[in-house]
Amino acid sequence: MLTKLKEKETAIELRRQGYSYSEILKKIPVAKSTLSLWLRSVGLAERQRQRLTEKKRKGQLKGAQAKRKQRILLTEKIKNEAIKEIGKISKRELWLIGTALYWAEGTKQKENNPSQKVRFSNSDTGMIKLFIKWLAETCSVSLEDLNFEIYIHETANIEEAQKYWSNILNLPLSKFQKTRLKKHKIKTNRKNINKDYHGLLTISVKRSTNLNRKITGWVKGICKNCGVV
């Protein structure tokens, strides 16, 4: 009986110091229902409530960090497995990939502009590199036949953007001097305003009207052989 009384007094003192129920139970091994009965009338001072709040916050943060680490590991596992599924890309597969890429992101010929040359725009460096590789290996288009134009907000660092694309594509800086500026709106919600913003790069192919027409035919061939037309 004296032991229980001593445990109760200790529990009350620990609670007044701001210890949580779980912390007290580690020091005093009694049933949680018994502890709740002992402590139901024990009030906490502001400092003790702050301690419990801070402990709870740290616990939540630790749990969030553990979940984030787990998510990152799972994401990397999925990505690595997916990379292995792709395997080696044949020249024909590259040809089809590039055609679909242009279908999605390239400039098409229209009735009011039947002589539109090949133009491709994107800000994704991997996509830009793949398009240049596709032009070279499946369309026999050399770098000398390409023009590059940066489309970027006027408030961005234009010189840094030019250097960025020059380094990414390992091409002389002179290739990226042509720049179009997008007028900046004060009340904008756009997110691409930090140091990672390098604008949109447009690649145009000289004397490529007929190549654009051929690409249109390739796209139609894909549709036909996939049974979607």
E strands, the chain, in order: 119-122, 146-153, 179-182, 200-205
- Give the pLDDT confidence score for residue 16 in this predicted structure: 76
Q: Provide the pLDDT for residue 34.
A: 82
β-strand 146-153 against 179-182: which pairing, if any? Answer: parallel
Tokens representing residue 199 in the block = 């604008």
- DSSP assignment, residue 55? H
pLDDT reported for residue 19:
79
- Could you tell me which residues are beta bridge partners of residue 181? 152
Question: How high is the mean pLDDT of the chain?
Answer: 87
| Of 52, 53, 31, residue with least CA distance to 8 | 31
Buried residues in 45-63 as b, exposed as e (16+ CB within 10 A) = eeebeebbeeeeeeeeeee
CB burial of 211-222 (b: ≥16 within 10 Å; e: otherwise) equals bbeebbebbeee
115: its two tokens = 């002589």
What mean pLDDT is predicted for residues 35-45?
Answer: 72
pLDDT in tens, 203-225: 999 999 999 999 999 999 999 99
pLDDT confidence of residue 13: 77
Q: Tell me: the pLDDT tens digits for 95-139?
A: 999 999 999 999 998 888 889 999 999 999 999 999 999 999 999
pLDDT grade for 184, boundaries at 50, 70 and 90: low
Asked which of 10-14, 82-86, 128-132 is least confident by mean pLDDT, the reply is: 10-14
pTM value is 0.71
Q: Distance between CA atoms of 103 and 110, rounded to whole angstroms?
A: 14
Q: Which residue has the higher pLDDT, 117 or 195?
A: 117
Q: Assess whether pLDDT exceeds 70 at residue 187.
A: no
For residue 91, give the amino acid letter.
K
Q: How far, in Å, are 43, 92, 106 from residue 197 at the CA level?
A: 54, 34, 21
Q: Which residues of 128-142 are buried (b: 16+ CB within 10 A; e: fewer)?
A: bebbbebbeebbebe
User: Which amino acid type is present at position 27?
Assistant: K
pLDDT class for 25, splitting at 50, 70, 90?
confident
